[in-house]
Amino acid sequence: MTILSEVRPGAYFDSVILMQLQRSLADLPGVIDVGVVMATPANKELLAASGLAVESPAGSDDLLIVVKAKDKKMAGDALSQGVSLKNSDPIVLMLLFNNFLKRNGL
């Protein structure tokens, strides 16, 4: 089992987008657990409590993506996909948001 993380300084996304990204990554092959949060002290504590603690210089204004997977390759692949989705243009992010709404009957 491997845990990898990625920090994006100053990257802010609405919590709904972060939840959708987290759910998308959790569905990838070999992924055991995922955390996609703004790196506030409270969110870092939640990650630690769920077994996703990582040493990270991330601060409250930074995005933190943490992936726990069966092996390093699977964790790296998921993390790469998360960074790719996160860096997408606003249209892709809106599609993710719409997908979230549909999945939740909203």
The CATH number given to whatever domain includes residue 88 is: 3.30.70
Residue 83 to residues 30, 79, 80, Cα–Cα distance (Å): 17, 6, 5
Torsion sign over Cα 77, 82, 83, 89: positive
Count of domains in the chain?
Answer: 1
Distances (CA, A) of 8 to 13, 19, 49, 82, 103: 11, 16, 22, 11, 27
Under DSSP, the state recorded for 67 is E
- Residue 26 lies in domain: 2-103
Look up the pTM and report it.
0.78
Q: What is the full per-residue pLDDT of the chain (106 aa) written as tens digits?
A: 999 999 988 887 778 778 888 988 898 899 999 999 999 999 999 999 999 999 888 999 998 999 999 999 999 988 887 766 555 556 556 666 666 677 677 6
Q: Are 28 and 77 in contact (CB under 8 A)?
A: yes
Instruction: State the Cα–Cα distance between residues 83 and 10, nearest whole angstrom.
Output: 14
